[in-house]
């Protein structure tokens, strides 16, 4: 793993996308505990990736990863991809994993076309962490959250969220469903900050997927056996025929 000095990132420009939130650390820990062979050569799409922790980790484990987020976060993702040596041009051979960044903002005009292009080849893993939340412009900061965690060499901020908009859960779920084919494992992870967030997510996911299953803490590896972070697996997309 690389060690990079965190850069000063203006959170008023990048907002929540600049933070490594707890759900992302949880998802990285869960996926990192699985055998590496599960990722070698696989196509992965990470949604709402922020700094790109999960996608970069899987690229290091041999996957071909599309790390997506809104446009203003892409420079941060690109910097982290390069710092960790997993850029497409940094590969030493065709068998190595890599990561590329791509703009994808669900709900934005034309986003379906981006999703369709990403889904034009089978997606093995569709992953998202902390994309379901109620955001308030003045609620909380990331200044005391995980800025010193060195799981990967990632650029991270030291300031507050400063962003007053929230993602659209219906469009987010639709994006997941459009990416998921018969072989796709779709994992959605988020910290339980509000029971309403969980209710809306499950309600919307049940419209788009045949099966919405919460992976219970006791069934997860020991480091992931916590109650305040939820991990869901979605399968049987109703939007793909």
Q: Is residue 161 in some structural domain?
A: no
For 150-195, give the DSSP string: -SS------SB--------HHHHHHHHHHH--TT-EEEEEEE-S-H
Q: Write out pLDDT tens, residues 158-176.
A: 333 334 334 589 999 999 9
Q: Please state the rounded mean pLDDT for residues 137-142.
A: 41
Please report the pLDDT score of residue 172 as a whole number: 95
Domain span at 96: 27-132+169-237
Within-domain flag for 10? no
Please check whether residue 148 lies inside any domain of the structure.
no
Domain CATH number, residue 103: 3.40.50.150
104 in a domain, yes or no? yes
Q: Are 24 and 130 in contact (CB under 8 A)?
A: yes
Distance between CA atoms of residues 89 and 71, nearest Å: 21
Of 16 and 115, the structure prediction assigns the larger pLDDT to 115
Q: Examine residue 49 and state whether it is found in any structural domain, yes or no.
A: yes
Is 85 part of any domain? yes
Burial of residue 101 (number of CB atoms within 10 Å: 0-12, 13-18, 19+): buried
Instruction: Please report, in angstroms and rounded to a whole number, the separation of the first and last CA atoms in the chain.
Output: 40
């Amino acid at each position: 793993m690389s060690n990079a000095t965190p850069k000063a990132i203006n959170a008023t420009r990048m907002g929540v996308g600049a933070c490594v939130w707890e759900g992302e650390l949880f998802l990285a820990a869960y996926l990192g505990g699985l055998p590496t062979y599960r990722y070698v050569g696989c196509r992965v799409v990470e949604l709402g990736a922020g700094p790109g922790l999960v996608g970069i980790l899987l690229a290091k484990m041999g996957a071909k990863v599309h790390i997506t987020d809104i446009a203003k976060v892409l420079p941060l993702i690109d910097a982290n991809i390069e710092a960790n040596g997993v850029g497409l041009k940094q590969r030493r051979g065709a068998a190595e994993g890599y990561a590329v960044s791509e703009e994808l903002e669900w709900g934005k005009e034309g986003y379906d076309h981006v999703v369709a292009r990403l889904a034009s080849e089978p997606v093995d893993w569709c992953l998202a962490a902390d994309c379901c939340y109620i955001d308030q412009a003045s609620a909380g900061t990331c200044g005391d959250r995980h800025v010193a965690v060195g799981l990967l060499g990632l650029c991270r901020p030291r300031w507050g969220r400063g962003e007053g908009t929230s993602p659209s859960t219906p469009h987010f779920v639709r994006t997941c469903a459009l990416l998921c084919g018969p072989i796709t494992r779709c994992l959605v992870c988020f910290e339980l900050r509000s029971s309403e967030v969980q209710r809306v997510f499950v309600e919307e996911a049940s419209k788009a997927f045949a099966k919405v299953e919460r992976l219970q803490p006791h069934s997860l590896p020991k480091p992931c056996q916590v109650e305040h972070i939820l991990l869901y697996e979605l399968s049987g997309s109703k939007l793909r025929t």
